[in-house]
């Protein structure tokens, strides 16, 4: 029986020099950099909105961007690129001729994706703070250097962001097992993003049952959306955990029984 | 474990159930043998290798490796064998050493085994290069190195010399013979290079249209080879010569104008010539025609 840690660590080695690794590194920097750039070009307008809470404004701008870019494009692309390493190199047959259970391979892959997402946040937090201070140094009028960022709120956002993303992680891992061609999961994600926008435009409360909207619901508060909090988490995040559980089981079943890498 | 390290019992398989790739195959690979597996393109060689490694779900029949059923002992069996199926499966974004490290970590092997297989396959200098910069031959060597990593009791190799230059082919052949002789490693390999197999194998299996048309040792093959060898004789009167020799063997026949006499060993040629000369006939030509593996393969796969 293959030990867990060595086999799990091989999943980390596999992303060396790959697009998936660069997506994590560049992605963590991209959104704060984009928001900082927008703030730099529209600083005169933003100065009037600061009201002594410059970091709260910078945070809101960043998380609104994150809600769209991160949940749909980052996660879907990351999973597709990560699974594509095996498809492109035709290495599934190598994986399945090693003395390791298929179930363990699946668990390793799932945990690796979750770890990559956590790594993304670990890189995102310092990037966000650094770019905030840099912006403040260039435009002192924005008061970012004279105030402290609200780290507690930032970490809370990160925590809820990860929980709400779990549903899409499990769904897209399952899709990457079902379809060798990465255009299919990406196409589906784009379509679901359009549906999400339509649901928000229609102020539909049913949005809480739609996994592609969970990240947006966690990091912003649409005016029409009211939901109860069950324990530590809001209702839709419990649903996210539910989707994660169901699709993880479905993926496990598919992977261990049918998957051969030739789909 | 019994006499056979690989054994299949009435193994049948088809991608489409109505069109079987092969039907009721009974493969038997003896322990410590070098078993060459040949067959024309599309005969099902790679499919059979994939089945033996558990990469395809087999439909009917049994597969036994190391005396254990593959269906129930997959992990145990895979931990004792090394394999190379079709083109090597390599992470091209990683270095050769990283590729070996992945196999090493999953198999729970010591790090120094990487150095050993790199040396064996002549890849030490290229170990830290990315695999996408490797030539086809280097990739093949790396695939072989990965198969050798666990010091397996059984090596399953699909076209192992594919893409190698003549020197590489000789090196791989010598390496496989060394592993077999020195460590008793059983080697099951398929190849299209029949001349290459001839120099390497102790046993051979010929797959044709979903059936194993021959399976046995090279000694058995030599017997067939001998049975199918003959002497061409041309004399001053071939009709008289035919009458003279037909009492010795009913297998004498005409090939064009000349006579075709079964060939057993070279001692018999002397006796044959003496007999013809003593009968007052002049000998114009005596030529031994022997079949090599390629001829026998062609005969087996076209009949």
**What pLDDT score does A93 carry?**
92
What are the residue ranges spanned by the domains of chain B?
4-216, 228-302
Contact B106 A6 (CB under 8 A): yes
The residues near A195 (Cβ < 8 Å, ≥ 6 apart) are A210, A212
Q: Could you tell me if A91 lies within 8 Å of chain B, comparing CB atoms?
A: yes
CB-based contact A219:A156 (threshold 8 Å) = no
Contact A16 B55 (CB under 8 A): no
| Best CA proximity match to A127, nearest among A75, A214, A218, A58 | A58
Given a cut of 50, the residues of chain B with pLDDT beneath it are: none
> Interior CA angle at A130 toward A127 and A131, to 5°?
85
CB-based contact B100:B114 (threshold 8 Å) = yes
Q: How far apart are CA B66 and CA B152, in angstroms?
A: 12
The residues near A220 (Cβ < 8 Å, ≥ 6 apart) are A63, A64, A67
For A151-160, write each residue's pLDDT tens digit: 898 899 899 9
Residues of chain A neighbouring B56 (CB-CB closer than 8 A): 260
Q: Could you tell me if B92 lies within 8 Å of chain A, comparing CB atoms?
A: yes
Q: How far is B80 from chain A (nearest CA, A)?
A: 9
**What pLDDT score does B27 carry?**
93
CB-based contact B6:B64 (threshold 8 Å) = yes
Residues of chain B neighbouring A9 (CB-CB closer than 8 A): 105
Give the percent of chain A with pLDDT over 90: 57
Rounded mean pLDDT, A211-216: 90
The terminus-to-terminus CA distance of chain B in angstroms comes to 36
Per-residue confidence at A75, pLDDT binned at 50, 70, 90? very high
Chains A, B: CB contacts under 8 A, how many?
75
| Best CA proximity match to A50, nearest among A142, A129, A146 | A142
| Best CA proximity match to B294, nearest among B197, B173, B219 | B197
Q: Could you tell me if B56 lies within 8 Å of chain A, comparing CB atoms?
A: yes
Element (H, E) at A94: helix A92-96
DSSP readout, B156-196? EEESTTTT--HHHHHHHHHHHHHHHHHH--EEEEE-S-HHH
**What pLDDT score does A7 carry?**
93
CATH number of B228-302: 3.30.70
Tokens of B74: 């997959």
Q: Which residue of B has its CA nearest to A11?
A: B102
Residues of chain A neighbouring B92 (CB-CB closer than 8 A): 88-89
ipTM, 2 decimals?
Answer: 0.89
CB-based contact A218:A224 (threshold 8 Å) = no
Residues of chain B neighbouring A16 (CB-CB closer than 8 A): 93-94, 98
Per-residue confidence at A84, pLDDT binned at 50, 70, 90? very high
DSSP letter for B95, please: B
Question: In which residue are the tokens 């560049």 written?
Answer: A26
The terminus-to-terminus CA distance of chain A in angstroms comes to 27
Does the B4-216 domain belong in CATH 3.40.50.300?
yes
**What pLDDT score does A2 carry?**
65
Rounded mean pLDDT, A132-137: 91
- Considering only residues 203 to 262 of chain A, which have any Cβ-Cβ distance to chain B shorter than 8 Å? 260
């Amino acid at each position: 029986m293959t030990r867990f840690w060595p086999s799990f660590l091989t999943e980390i080695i596999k992303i060396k020099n790959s697009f998936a690794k660069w997506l994590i590194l560049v992605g963590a920097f991209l959104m704060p950099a984009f928001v900082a750039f927008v703030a730099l070009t529209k600083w005169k307008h933003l100065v009037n909105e600061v009201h002594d809470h410059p970091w709260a404004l910078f945070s809101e701008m960043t998380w609104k961007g994150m809600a769209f870019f991160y949940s749909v494009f980052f996660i879907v692309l990351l999973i597709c690129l990560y699974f594509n390493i095996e498809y492109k190199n035709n290495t599934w047959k190598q994986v399945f001729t090693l003395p390791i259970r298929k179930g363990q391979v699946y668990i390793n892959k799932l945990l690796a994706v979750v770890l990559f997402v956590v790594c993304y946040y670990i890189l995102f937090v310092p990037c966000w703070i650094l770019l905030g201070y840099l912006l403040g140094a260039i435009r002192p009028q924005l008061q970012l250097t004279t105030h402290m960022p609200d780290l507690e709120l930032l970490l809370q956002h990160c925590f809820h962001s990860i929980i709400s993303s779990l549903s899409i992680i499990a769904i897209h891992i399952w899709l990457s097992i079902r379809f060798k061609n990465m255009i299919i999961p990406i196409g589906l994600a784009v379509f679901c993003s359009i549906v999400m926008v339509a649901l928000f435009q229609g102020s539909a409360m049913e949005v809480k049952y739609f996994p592609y909207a969970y990240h947006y619901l966690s990091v912003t508060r649409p005016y029409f959306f009211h939901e109860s909090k069950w324990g530590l988490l809001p209702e839709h995040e419990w649903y996210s955990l539910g989707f994660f559980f169901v699709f993880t089981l479905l993926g496990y079943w598919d992977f261990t029984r049918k998957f051969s890498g030739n789909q | 474990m019994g006499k056979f390290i690989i054994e299949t019992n009435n193994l049948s398989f088809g991608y489409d159930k109505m069109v079987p790739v092969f039907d009721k195959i009974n493969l038997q690979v003896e322990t410590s043998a070098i078993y060459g597996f040949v067959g024309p393109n599309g005969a099902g060689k790679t499919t059979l290798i994939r089945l033996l490694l558990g990469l395809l779900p087999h439909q009917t029949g049994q597969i036994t490796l190391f005396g254990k059923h593959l269906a129930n002992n997959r992990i145990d069996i895979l931990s004792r064998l090394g394999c190379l199926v079709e083109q090597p499966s390599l992470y091209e974004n990683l270095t050769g050493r990283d590729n070996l490290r992945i196999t090493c970590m999953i198999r729970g092997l010591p790090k120094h085994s990487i150095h050993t297989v790199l040396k064996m396959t002549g890849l030490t200098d290229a170990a830290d290069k990315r695999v996408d910069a490797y030539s086809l031959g280097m990739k093949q060597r790396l695939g072989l190195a990965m198969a050798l990593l666990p010091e397996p009791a059984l090596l399953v190799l699909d076209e192992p010399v594919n893409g190698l230059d003549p020197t590489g082919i000789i090196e791989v052949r010598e390496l496989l013979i060394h592993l077999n002789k020195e460590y008793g490693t059983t080697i099951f390999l398929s190849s299209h290079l029949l001349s290459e197999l001839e120099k390497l194998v102790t046993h051979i299996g010929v797959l044709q249209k979903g059936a194993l048309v021959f399976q046995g040792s090279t000694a058995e093959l030599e017997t067939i080879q001998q049975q199918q060898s003959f002497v061409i004789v041309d004399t001053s009167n071939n009709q008289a010569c035919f009458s003279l020799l037909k009492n010795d063997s009913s297998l004498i026949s005409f090939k064009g104008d000349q006579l075709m006499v079964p060939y057993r060993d070279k001692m018999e040629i002397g006796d044959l010539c003496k007999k013809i000369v003593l009968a007052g006939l002049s000998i114009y030509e005596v030529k031994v025609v022997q079949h090599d593996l390629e001829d026998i393969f062609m005969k087996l796969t076209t009949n």
